[in-house]
Amino acid sequence: MTYDLLKLAHIIGAVLIGGGLIGVWLTDLRSRQSHELVRFSESVRNIAVFYDGVVVPGAIVLLISGTWLIVEFFGGWNFVSTPWLAGMVFLFAFEFIEGNTITRLYFMRLRRLTQEALRVGAFTPELEKTRAENVPTFTHFLDLPILLLIVTLGALKPNDWGLFIVGSLVAIAIATALTIFIPRLYP
């Protein structure tokens, strides 16, 4: 019974993260389309709502349920010898750290600069410069492909590292392509 409840919690956490990241992605795209400060501000606020209200709780549920599953049912630290599980843990840890440093800090700074721009009544040069940064854009566009890879590893449970390596390369290629092409759609 414990395994089933933990697995359910894990699935709920994955759904929350997935739904939240899709919401962030869509509102970010909307913000890129907007040249009107008030609409841009609303999109930035919605990004924060999705991150703080959906993605973060999902990540916490995943962290707790995943750790508990590994400790109780997958031999604790022995998980490192299981490629699909070690890959999932590595990618989750990477996304958790990256998401709470580069991406989250970027969106917090964007929100602060947007509030300053609203007080001024126009987009400020600093806000425009921040909107155009490539590294946070890349890490943001990497979130969904990495999540898809994590889910794929958990669903297929491969016994070697091939899927992890190929999937990681594909995720990086997708994020790179999105980083190059999406900003060009909305100059």
Residue 186 has pLDDT above 90, yes or no: no
Give the pLDDT band (50/70/90) at residue 187: low
% of the chain beyond a pLDDT of 70: 99
Q: Is 129 exposed, middle or buried (CB count within 10 Å of its CB: 0-12, 13-18, 19+)? A: exposed
Concatenated DSSP letters of 114-169 = HHHHHHHTS--HHHHHHHT-HHHHHHHHHHHHHHHHHHHHHHH--SSSHHHHHHHH
Q: Tokens in use for 24?
A: 């962030």
Write the CB contacts of 64 (distance below 8 Å, at least 6 apart in sequence): 9
Q: Which domain holds residue 136?
A: 2-185
pLDDT tens string 58-111: 999 999 999 999 999 999 999 999 999 999 999 999 999 998 889 889 999 999
> pTM of the predicted model, to two decimals?
0.91
- Write out pLDDT tens, residues 160-171: 999 999 999 999
Structural domains counted in the chain: 1
Q: How many residues does this entry show for the chain?
A: 187
Q: Are 138 and 179 in contact (CB under 8 A)?
A: yes
More confident: 33 or 158: 158
Q: Report pLDDT for 183.
A: 82
